[in-house]
Structure 1
Amino acid sequence: MYQGLYRELPDIQAYLDRIGMPAPQQLSVDYLDQLVLAHQYQVPFENIDTSDKNLTISLETEAIFDKIVTRKRGGCCFELNALFLKLLCALGFDAWACRCRVLRGKDFFPPSSHRAALVRMEGSIYFCDVGYGGPQPACGIKVEDGSTRTCAGQTFIIRRNDEYWWTLIYLSKEGPEETMQFTMMPEEEVDFVPLSHFCFTHPDSFFSTGERVISRRIPGGSVSIEGDLFTRIESGVRQETMITDENQYLTLLSQEFDITL
């Protein structure tokens, strides 16, 4: 019933080509960092299938590969980080999925509704995320209490909460922001099926509202669409444009996110 979740990547080279990365000469933290950054540059976070088309997303490997690699779309965390984990494992990294709860922008304790990846390298474990629509490290960040890394102009800190949970903190201009918590326990692919269902159907979930959310990292900033608002942040300068018709929306998708529907 869930065999499709566990299938291997159909084409490793095609995936590397999609994000503009060469195959590794050897596995290293530096190459891992390059993979994370390239993925965030080339593959946007987006929920177009559920917001615009009212479709149910598939978490099967071949369906996600077709969407992200073949059709050059983006996806949500359950798609992007799932496929990225498949790539990491196919390249030979010791990697596994982890469960997360998003804290940013919430004044309550939320349920787990996000997934990321953990990679064991050189005696340490690194947290990697290519599927979050908000601030996310543009590199792997060592899972160690007080660990700090600055990548692509953004600084993040890891804080240990207790025996099971860790917190990722983003150092914004306004001060420290708790972005998400994660646990290091390996998760099975099948465990994310109900979490994905919750995110897109439960009335308490943001994504159940049907509002479109699209974002992509660019050098020096990001571009995003939330509802009918397009935002470009570049070198600290923020520009906002209201989307007033379908043609403008489709043009922005093509020019700013390289998405053709």
Structure 2
Amino acid sequence: MSHDMVDAWLSRLVLSSDLPVTLESLTKITRAHLDRIPFENLTVFCGDVPDISLDALEEKILRQRRGGYCVELNPLLCAGLRALGFDARLRMARVLWQRDAPGPRSHCLCLVRIGGDEYLVDVGFGGPGPTAPLLLGSDGPDLRIAPRDGLGTVLSRQVGRGDWRDLYAFTDEMTTMSDVQAGNWLAATLPGSLFTRTLIVTRHSGDTRLVLDGTTFRRFADGRAPEAETLQTPDAVRSCLQDAFGIDPLPGLEDALIRKGLF
């Protein structure tokens, strides 16, 4: 990542360039990513496969101020972390969330080593993903990460008292950009892929998580009941993208919404 791109990345995150290589800095960067850069699949929903080269990510996410999904957001994060001196690397995972069987290796995440500890950092899983670095092998109040025979390391979330749901599984097998490209192609073209079927946009805003799922816009705030609104027209979807997520919709969005039966 060039110096200019690092500056543009930190500017998008509203962070300074003098961040030390510490867990506190990693936590600030993770949270800023989730707050400032939306998870969104507009490119795939409108029928294209995203270009995930670093130059393309710079143009789309940093210059056009768009968002992206895991194979865009986590490689950008990983490149930025490396530029700041962090020991960061990408890994591919099999999605388990809301699936009867493990999916293909289509999810991209980031592992970061600080001292003798290793952390999972993921700014590209959308709503149920972690919102801070998670120490491998640890248990939190609502997330846990642990090895499991036949799958590798599994990240799980508590969705109710005593009810844990698996999010994804990964191994420490080396990941190259060709692996990430393959995951991108699968997510964008595999028949039945969620990303081709419906619009998904999420971001955090302080203690509130904003989610656009198809034509339903929801707000999840700590300590309050979720709020939901059904968007009645394509124009309402466009306004939601601009007002809640800061995204200028793609020219083909209205056609895609109608073609895929959302209106």
Q: TM (normalized to structure 1)?
A: 0.89
User: In the alignment, what sits opposite 2:174?
Assistant: 186
**Structure 1 residue 232 and structure 2 residue 219: aligned?**
yes
CA distance in structure 2 between the partners assigned to 1:48 and 1:250 by the alignment:
11
User: In the alignment, what sits opposite 2:48?
Assistant: 55
Give the drift of 1:8.
Answer: 5.0
Give the drift of 1:207.
Answer: 2.0
Give the drift of 1:9.
Answer: 6.9
| 1:50-199 correspondence to structure 2 within 5 Å | 50-51=44-45, 53-144=46-137, 147-149=138-140, 155-162=142-149, 165-174=152-161, 175-199=163-187
User: In the alignment, what sits opposite 2:31?
Assistant: 37
- 1:180 aligned counterpart, secondary structure: strand
The answer to whether the 8 Å contact 2:48/2:188 transfers is no
Give the drift of 1:134.
Answer: 2.7
Displacement over 6 Å in runs of 4+: none
**Structure 1 residue 46 and structure 2 residue 40: aligned?**
yes
The answer to whether the 8 Å contact 1:127/1:142 transfers is yes
User: In the alignment, what sits opposite 1:200?
Assistant: 188
CA distance in structure 1 between the partners assigned to 2:62 and 2:81 by the alignment:
15
CA distance in structure 2 between the partners assigned to 1:257 and 1:121 by the alignment:
32
> Residue type of the partner of 1:247?
D
> What RMSD over aligned residues (CA atoms) do the two structures have, in Å?
1.8
- 1:134 aligned counterpart, secondary structure: coil
Percent of pairs identical after alignment?
26
> Residue type of the partner of 2:139?
T
Q: TM (normalized to structure 2)?
A: 0.88
Cα distance 1:221–1:115, how it changes in 2: closer, same or farther (>3 A)?
same
> Residue type of the partner of 2:75?
A
The answer to whether the 8 Å contact 2:91/2:170 transfers is yes
CA distance in structure 2 between the partners assigned to 1:118 and 1:163 by the alignment:
20
- 2:144 aligned counterpart, secondary structure: strand
- 2:124 aligned counterpart, secondary structure: coil
Count how many residue pairs are aligned between Structure 1 and Structure 2.
247
CA distance in structure 1 between the partners assigned to 2:37 and 2:96 by the alignment:
23
> Residue type of the partner of 2:248?
T
Give the drift of 1:163.
Answer: 8.5
The answer to whether the 8 Å contact 2:47/2:196 transfers is no
User: In the alignment, what sits opposite 1:4?
Assistant: none
Give the drift of 1:208.
Answer: 3.0
Give the drift of 1:55.
Answer: 2.3
CA distance in structure 2 between the partners assigned to 1:107 and 1:54 by the alignment:
26
For residues 32-90 of structure 1, give each alpha carbon's deviation from its aligned partner in whole angstroms, at most 9, with x where no partner exists. 01111110011111011121x32221011011111111111100111001111110111
